[in-house]
C-alpha cells in the first residue's frame, strides 16, 4: 500500500514529517517505523523525515511491511467473507468462536482462520482486528491488513465517524420504544471477564430503537456511541431487559420466560451493519450481515 501526497503551495517549506502526519494522517508510531525502514520517498528517492519539501514534490509512504506471524498457527476454518480488498477483510462471524487467541483459546479462533487464508495466498501479515465481538455474538467484524488502515478506522471510531449497528432480542417489552441508555460500565470486583453498571465505571452510551414487539420479548436495534466491553449486554441487563440466551448477564430477578433461552443457546445479539469511510479510497462503506438462522428461528417462535 502506497500513500501519496503532492505538495501544494501551503505545504511548501514544511518538512516531510509534517506531510506524513498532517496530510497523510499517519501516527507518530507509524512515522517512526517508516523512517527506520527507509520507506519514505520524495520524488521516488528515499529521504529523511526532516527533509524540506517544495511545491510539486511527490511524497510517498510505503506502509506495507513483511511481518513475523509465527505466534498464530494457521488453521483451515470456514469463514463468511462479506468484503475484501488489499486493505481489509470483513467477516460475518459465526457464533461459538473466539476472535483472537488467548491463554484459554490458543487455537480455533478467527485469527487462526485468517492466518491460514492469508498464508495460502502467500501473504505474511499480522492479524489486526479493528473491533472485537464476544465468542457467541455473531455478525460483522473487520480486520485491517496494515497499521495505517487499523489506525484510521480506530480514529474514526474515536471521532464518532464509524457507525456500528446491532440487532438483539431481549426479555420483556421495552418502553419507551426509542431511547438512550447512559450508564457507566466497569469491571466487576473479583472478576477478570464480567462487567457491571457502576458510578466509578467508564462512560458508556447505547442508543436503541424497537423493531418488533412480542408478548414477552422485544426485537431491538442498537447503535453504539461508545465501545465498552460487553456494553450492550450489560446495558440491557441494567434496564431490566437482558438479552435472551445471555447466561453471563441474565435477568436480575427470576422471570417465567427464561425458558426462551433453549431456543437459541447463546445471547441473541448480532452485529448487523457498519458504516465508515474507506481509509484509502475515501468512499463511504455500508456493509450488512444478514441475521443468522438461530436468531431467525427465535423470532419465528416469538411470533407464534
* Phi–psi pair at 84, nearest 5 degrees: -155, 140
Cell numbers placing 108? 480455533
Buried b (16+ CB within 10 A) or exposed e, 40-61: bbbeeeebebebebeeebebbb
Q: Which residue's entry shows cell 447503535?
A: 223
How many angstroms separate the CA atoms of 239 and 187, rounded? 18
302: exposed, middle or buried (Cβ count in 10 Å: 0-12, 13-18, 19+): buried
Are the beta carbons of 98 and 109 closer than 8 angstroms? Answer: yes
**CA atoms lying within 13 Å on the CB side of residue 152:** 23
Residue 190's CB is within 10 A of a number of other CB atoms, namely 6
What's the chain's Rg over C-alpha atoms?
23
How many angstroms separate the CA atoms of 118 and 72, rounded? 12
Query: Of these residues, 57, 64, 78, 134, which one is catalytic?
Result: 134
How many angstroms separate the CA atoms of 133 and 104, rounded? 17
How many angstroms separate the CA atoms of 98 and 105, rounded? 7
The CA-based angle 269-221-303, given to 5 degrees, is 75
Range list of H helices, the chain: 16-18, 28-36, 110-119, 147-158, 231-238, 293-303
Question: Residue 89 belongs to what H/E stretch?
Answer: strand 88-93
For residue 134, indicate whether it is catalytic. yes
The catalytic residue positions are: 134
Amino acid at each position: 500500500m502506497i500513500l501519496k501526497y503532492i505538495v501544494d503551495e501551503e505545504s511548501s517549506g514544511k518538512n516531510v514529517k509534517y506531510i506524513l502526519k498532517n496530510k497523510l494522517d499517519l501516527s507518530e508510531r507509524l512515522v517512526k517505523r517508516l523512517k527506520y525502514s527507509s520507506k519514505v520517498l520524495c520524488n521516488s528517492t528515499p529521504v529523511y523525515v526532516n527533509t524540506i519539501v517544495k511545491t510539486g514534490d511527490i511524497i510517498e509512504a510505503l506502509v506495507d511491511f513483511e511481518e513475523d506471524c509465527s505466534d498464530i498457527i494457521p488453521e483451515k476454518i470456514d469463514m463468511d467473507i462479506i468484503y475484501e480488498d488489499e486493505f481489509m477483510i470483513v467477516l460475518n462471524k459465526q457464533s461459538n468462536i473466539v476472535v483472537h487467541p488467548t491463554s484459554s483459546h490458543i487455537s480455533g479462533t478467527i485469527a487462526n482462520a485468517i492466518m491460514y487464508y492469508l498464508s495460502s495466498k502467500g501473504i505474511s501479515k499480522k492479524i489486526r482486528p479493528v473491533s472485537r465481538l464476544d465468542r457467541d455474538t455473531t455478525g460483522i467484524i473487520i480486520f485491517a491488513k496494515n497499521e495505517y488502515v487499523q489506525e484510521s478506522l480506530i480514529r474514526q471510531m474515536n471521532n464518532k465517524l464509524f457507525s456500528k449497528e446491532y440487532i438483539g432480542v431481549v426479555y420483556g417489552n421495552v418502553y419507551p420504544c426509542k431511547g438512550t441508555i447512559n450508564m457507566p460500565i466497569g469491571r466487576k470486583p473479583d472478576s477478570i471477564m464480567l462487567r457491571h453498571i457502576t458510578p466509578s465505571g467508564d462512560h458508556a452510551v447505547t442508543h436503541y430503537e424497537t423493531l418488533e414487539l412480542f408478548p414477552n420479548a422485544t426485537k431491538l436495534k442498537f447503535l453504539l456511541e461508545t465501545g465498552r466491553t460487553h456494553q450492550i449486554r450489560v446495558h440491557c441487563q441494567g434496564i431490566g431487559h437482558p438479552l435472551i440466551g445471555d447466561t453471563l448477564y441474565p435477568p436480575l430477578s427470576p422471570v417465567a420466560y427464561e425458558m426462551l433461552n433453549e431456543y437459541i443457546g447463546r445471547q441473541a445479539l448480532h452485529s448487523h451493519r457498519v458504516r465508515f469511510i474507506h481509509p484509502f479510497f475515501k468512499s463511504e462503506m455500508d456493509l450488512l450481515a444478514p441475521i443468522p438462522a438461530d436468531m431467525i428461528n427465535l423470532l419465528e417462535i416469538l411470533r407464534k
